[in-house]
Chains A and B, each alone.
Chain A
Amino acid sequence: MFALTTLVAVSFSIGSFRIGEAEKPFLYAVLLWIILVFSALSGLSRSFVKEEEAGTMDVLRLSARPQAVFLGKLFFNLTLLGALEVIIVPSFILLMEYNIAFPGFFVAMVITAGLGLGAGTTIVAAMIAQASVRGALFSALSFPLLLPLMITAIKGCERAAVGFDTAGWPEVRIALAYVVIMIIMSLFLFPLIWEE
């Protein structure tokens, strides 16, 4: 809902007419990732918080391997984020009349950065689940962790829209490396976070 509301607000207030053609690729990439990141931040923290609030955290700790719990929550968050991207990205392209020169590169960028966003927010959600000021802490901890990924995603989407020098798909490879590093690190760190 947050994503749709933001998307509609952005498309009505900015639309495709108030931005010069030269600025469109960069500004549209920024707007798209602002919508996606803030939607993710508002929803994905719930994955572990829900367990804590329902009182099921302990029984899960006693039953399942920590890595299995992390991968389960990661899969859930990625599914949620995937569904969000499927709705938001095409809607954004249509409403903003977003012209993309290299759709393949753009789709790969959205997918890999989405995976990174899911992996980053899942481990932060685990960290903040037992804290008292979860909302503020989630955003504060996610910001430095997601910043490099967001810069890469914006650059990648801009490059896909403009259509210059996409050889080697550099931003996609950086985002993919981020995903791999984040998941491997999380699998090692999560058992420590999972214990009290």
Chain B
Amino acid sequence: MYSLKLSNIGKYYSAALLFRDISFELRSGEALAIAGWNGSGKSTLLRIIAGLVRPSTGQVDMFSENEPIPKESRRRFLGMVAPAMALYEELTALENMEFFCKVRGLVHHRRTCLDMMDRVGLSEHSDKICRNYSSGMKQRLKLVQALLHTPPLLLLDEPGCNLDSKGIKIVEDITRQQRQTGMTIIASNEKREVDYADRVINLSERSHGNLAP
């Protein structure tokens, strides 16, 4: 059983406040959506949870069986997909997955990687250089990369971006399966994606300087 706790998270850039007082708890089996106008800080909040950005105030804690997980080990317990994240374009899809298995210290099985790629409809393209992938195929491959180590916490930033209807169905299946055992946080303004979650935090109500009309 895993849980995530955010306490009074706030983010300032210089003197400008992006958002403040974000607090919530999430447990295995739950899904949370983060919605908000462009510039309200959805991606930044996900990056704070992932440990990629330091919050200006507050703290993020993750627990395994009520035991706190040290910040430096947190990356082992989460997978993330975001538009700004890229994979190695000069490698094939399979080489990318093999590389990430190795750096994560996973026992690498080519068959497992291929099975996961099959799950997102990429097994036939596994030997293609990623540079030649379409943006939708890259998005699917990012999903595989995030799921390689079966993380208890899955962070999805605009997961449906660049995906066709089949791809969107894959995201739906992944979030449904993740909810059986782990936690999911989705940052999106797409109603369909927000509906995957059982709770919604709207950053537009807590942020400043965003592009709200």
Contacts and interface: CB of A to CB of B under 8 A. Distances in A.
Interface of A: 54-56, 58-64, 68, 191, 195-196
A54 B53 contact: no
A196 B52 CA distance: 6
B52 A63 contact: no
Contact of B80 (A56, A60, A62, A64): A62
A65 to B, nearest CB: 8
A68 B103 contact: yes
Contacts of B51: 195
Contacts of B80: 58-59, 62
B103 A60 contact: yes
Given A62-B78, A63-B75, A63-B103, 13 more contacts: A54-B89, A55-B84, A55-B85, A56-B87, A58-B80, A58-B82, A58-B84, A59-B85, A59-B87, A61-B52, A62-B80, A68-B103, A196-B54
Interface in B42-66: 47, 50-54
Nearest to B151: A62
B45 to A, nearest CB: 14
A195 to B, nearest CB: 7
Interface of B: 47, 50-54, 72, 75, 78-80, 82, 84-89, 100, 103-104, 145
Sorted from nearest, which 10 A-B pairs have the closest CB atoms? A55-B86, A64-B103, A63-B103, A58-B85, A59-B85, A62-B75, A196-B53, A63-B104, A63-B100, A56-B86
B52 A62 contact: yes
Contacts of A63: 75, 100, 103-104
A55 B80 CA distance: 14
B19 to A, nearest CB: 17
Contacts of B100: 59, 63
Nearest to B75: A62
Contacts of A59: 80, 85-87, 100, 145
19 contacts: A54-B89, A55-B84, A56-B87, A59-B85, A60-B103, A61-B52, A61-B75, A62-B52, A62-B75, A62-B78, A62-B79, A63-B100, A63-B103, A63-B104, A64-B104, A191-B72, A195-B51, A195-B54, A196-B53
B2 to A, nearest CB: 17
A55 B104 CA distance: 19
A62 B84 CA distance: 14
A101 B79 CA distance: 59
Contacts of A62: 50, 52, 75, 78-80
A54 B86 contact: yes
A54 B84 CA distance: 10
A58 B50 CA distance: 10
Nearest to B101: A63
A68 B54 CA distance: 22
Most buried by A among B50, B78, B86, B104: B86
Nearest to B100: A63
Contacts of B54: 195-196
Contacts of A54: 86, 88-89
